[in-house]
Amino acid sequence: MSTSTKIFLLTALLVAAWVPAVHAEKKTVCSITVNSPDEKETFRRSLPADKYQFVELVERGRPDWLESACRQGIRCDVLVISGHYDGGNEFFPDRLEADEFLPVAEMERVSCSDSCRGLFSQLKEVYLFGCNTLNPEALRSASAEIGRSLVRSGFSRADADRLSRGLSARHGESSRDRMRLIFKDVPVIYGFSSKAPVGPTAASMLDRYFQSGAGGEIGSGRASARMLGRFSANSMVVTSGLNDSDPYAAHRRDVCQFSSDRLSPVQKLGFVHQLLGREMAEVRMFLDRIEKYTASLSESERQTPAVARALDAIARDEAARTRYLDFARDADQPAVRARMLAVAGSLGWLSPAEKRAELMRMIGEQLARNTVSAADVDIV
């Protein structure tokens, strides 16, 4: 074979290898359009088709569209979410006839589950076009009974106050905290700390951003001063997702014990049992998640041998039962006390008759303090 032929063949092989590599460099911009398509269309119109490809994850009329995206093996480099945001639970549309919603709990499930690791795993940037999507205000805080519980456990008042503040920070569940938890390891998350511009207005601002020649920044994984400057009058802020060295990484691991698809009911109940062995102050901060999980167990699930054994192990844990009920009886709010008693019933710590007796005891204490209300009576 002549030298020129060898060179020609080598060149052809290099070109063949290079062309797919160039194609592979295309960034995937995923969109979840619950309300206005204006922002998504501005990205599509402004970014070059040879460098970016676009995938809309919402499949109209299909409630399991996010799960469908997982099954298709879609991997997003950039994610654009557009929708009204209620400040804690879901993104929603403003059209009465629309039925596409994006629950935060579903995003959390996808983020925590190995079954859908790919969808968010290579994200460089997330754009959250909705009011309060990165609001730092805590939605929950440690109540007075938490401090009292810590003192009963042997902590000094000063230490109890310090630990209460730590629990409030860790379990505050602000919108910013939840988005950082969901978009783990994502270097750039844009959102709004308060009111966000409506779709057409946001699209106009994005247009001006792209006209400035900044489009090459999209998908770089670096926060853009020009993007923030363009939305500076509209409360746009930027943060990053949690990583394994973050002080709150352990809290994310706990949350994922409730949310992950890869854990069986027995494993989740094992975690609940382990959690019940911690300080009751921390258990109280997980009440919402424990309550939702135990309520989600169907009677048929409870009757399966492995689940029944896991529940029985909790029911027979007298030390945890005593500590839990002592804490519940000290709750400041009757509604919280009633919820804790309901969970105690679902864990096998109270029979129906015992639970009713506990509720009547609570009402009696409220009457003695002359603080009973109509809402308190309705609890019973």
Average pLDDT, the chain: 88
Question: Beta-carbon neighbour count of residue 205 at 10 Å?
Answer: 19
Q: Closest Cα partner for 328 from 320, 336, 317, 318?
A: 336
Q: Please, which residues have CB within 8 angstroms of residue 289's CB and are 6 or more apart in sequence?
A: 255, 258
Q: Closest Cα partner for 102 from 71, 69, 72?
A: 69
pLDDT single digits (tens) 156-180: 989 888 888 888 888 888 999 999 9
> What is the C-alpha separation between 176 and 178, in angstroms, rounded?
6
In the chain, pLDDT over 70 holds for what percent of residues? 90
Predicted confidence (pLDDT) at residue 374 exceeds the cutoff of 80: no
* Structure confidence at residue 155 (pLDDT): 87
Strands 52-56 and 27-33: parallel
Tell me the whole-structure pTM to 2 decimals.
0.86
Residue in this structure with the two tokens 């969901």, named with its chain if needed? 182
* Structure confidence at residue 3 (pLDDT): 52
Q: Please, which residues have CB within 8 angstroms of residue 263's CB and are 6 or more apart in sequence?
A: 257, 271
Sorted by where each begins, the domain ranges of the chain are 3-137+174-239, 249-379
Q: CA 125 → CA 141, 195, 229, distances in Å?
A: 30, 21, 17
* Structure confidence at residue 75 (pLDDT): 92
* Structure confidence at residue 57 (pLDDT): 94
> What is the C-alpha separation between 53 and 222, in angstroms, rounded?
20
* Structure confidence at residue 136 (pLDDT): 94
Question: What are residue 126's DSSP bridge partners?
Answer: 79, 189
pLDDT single digits (tens) 54-99: 999 998 878 888 888 888 889 999 999 999 999 888 999 887 666 7
- Please check whether residue 296 is in contact with residue 253, taking contact to mean a CB–CB distance below 8 angstroms: no
CATH topology for the 3-137+174-239 domain: Rossmann fold (3.40.50)
* Structure confidence at residue 234 (pLDDT): 92
